[in-house]
Amino acid sequence: MKTVLKWLGIVLGFVVVIAGCLAAYINFRPDPTYDVALPAFTSVSTPESVHRGKILVLSLCAECHRDPVTKQLTGRLMQDLPEQFGTAYSRNITQHPTKGIGAWSDAEIAWLLRTGIHPKTKKYVPAWMVKLPHVSDQDMNAIISFLRSDDPLVVAADVQNRESDASLFAKFLMFVGAFKPYDYPTAAIAHPDTTNSVKYGEYLADNVFACFACHSKDFASNDDMTPTKSAGYYGGGNMMPDYNKVLVPTSNITPDKATGIGAWTEAQFVSTMKHGFRPDGSLLRYPMGRLAHVSDHELSCIYAYLKTIPSISNAVPKPPMPAMSANPSAGEKAYNSYGCVHCHGASGLGFADLQLADKKYSSDSVLTDVILHTTTYYPETAMPAWDGKIKPADLPEIVKHVRDLGKKSGR
């Protein structure tokens, strides 16, 4: 028996050593590189393409790349990234020639967005960066036209990039091929018929906004190249973290009347996506944000497509609320109950930096008006307007709590 245990210990020790060596190899090996074959792509800028491009960039890129302090696409800490992937910073994608993408060619931008391969380093960019292998050439042209425009979001900003630190787990996923680039399309991708509401809605939902990626069963079982093959296609339940690291299950948006959006009208769907409040008055919870810049027509097309997909009965559970302090104030309670905590975080340092609000808005009346009529001050904000949604008695308490967040931070 002792001999058996001895040899078992030797075998287990050998396995541990091998596993440790493999982990060390994965952790310290150079990131893999890929061939770069730049396409013949040159953007043609028109006022219409710039306008369209801004809508796409605001909807697809700004959430991760817009810094809450600079208000430009200069990059930021990805605070809601699951901890198992490490620490990540989005990049400066303004027109700065060295710190941004000002010196990049149109073909290089298109190559990165379609394949996920950095045209300069030849490395695969993080899996969580938006990639657009299926968007039409017309929409790709629009994105690049906007990135080349004189819009304040993208004018050259001398802001240094901060380097990300991928975890061993993230490196392992790259090692086994779970994180890998796409092939560049071998033929032109035509823009769909925008008058065919179902077909155009499918294009927008699957190929542009990739709604299926979050609203299907799980990222691991998604099929990015053929979205309809994703497990639980649009049935929800995919667990995603908010700014408090609370896991939030995505909603079922199939036509199921009991657990999906089958009972919603087209007008209710469009209003929810535009304004951020469901038909029952509840707030869309982060990481889902409102598609404020997308046209009513396009939202109606997405609705038309969702009404055609197979219904899935999946009653997604209500996610837990983030924990409050031991003795929460009335303001903290209201801040949590209205859902401010989901986007801004318990500390105020979330999607927007509330820790600076105390110094930025010296008057309570102005800070109150910013909360109620946010788009008046920041037309491109993702934050919904709270006018008529917050009880008048709660407003002073929320304002006081926001100020307390700044004071506690010491900034």
| Interval 34-86: pLDDT, tens | 999 999 999 999 999 999 999 999 999 998 999 988 889 999 988 877 778 78
CB environment 300-334: b (16+ within 10 A), e (fewer):
bbbbbbbbebebbebebeebeeeeeeeeeeebbeb
Position of tokens 């990739």?
A: 210
Q: Give the distance from CA 259 to its chain's centroid.
A: 24
Model pLDDT, residue 367: 96
Model pLDDT, residue 4: 46
Model pLDDT, residue 400: 97
CB environment 157-181: b (16+ within 10 A), e (fewer):
bebebeebebbeebbbbbbeeebeb
Model pLDDT, residue 6: 47
Q: Looking at the DSSP assignment, which residues form a beta bridge with residue 240? A: 248
Task: Round to whole Å and give the CA distance between 297 and 284.
Answer: 21
For residue 283, give the amino acid letter: L
Model pLDDT, residue 181: 92
Position of tokens 């493999």?
A: 22
Q: Which two tokens stand for residue 139?
A: 């929409």
Q: Is residue 355 classed exposed, middle or buried when 0-12, 13-18 and 19+ CB atoms within 10 A define those classes? A: buried
Are 306 and 255 in contact by the 8 Å Cβ rule? The answer is yes
What pTM was computed for the model? Answer: 0.89
Classified as helix, coil or strand, 35 is coil
Low-confidence ranges of the chain (pLDDT < 70): 1-30, 170-178
Q: Looking at the DSSP assignment, which residues form a beta bridge with residue 241? A: 247
Model pLDDT, residue 182: 93
- Taking each helix axis as running N to C, give the angle between helix 2-28 and helix 168-175, from 0 to 180 degrees, rounded to the nearest 10: 90
Model pLDDT, residue 9: 52
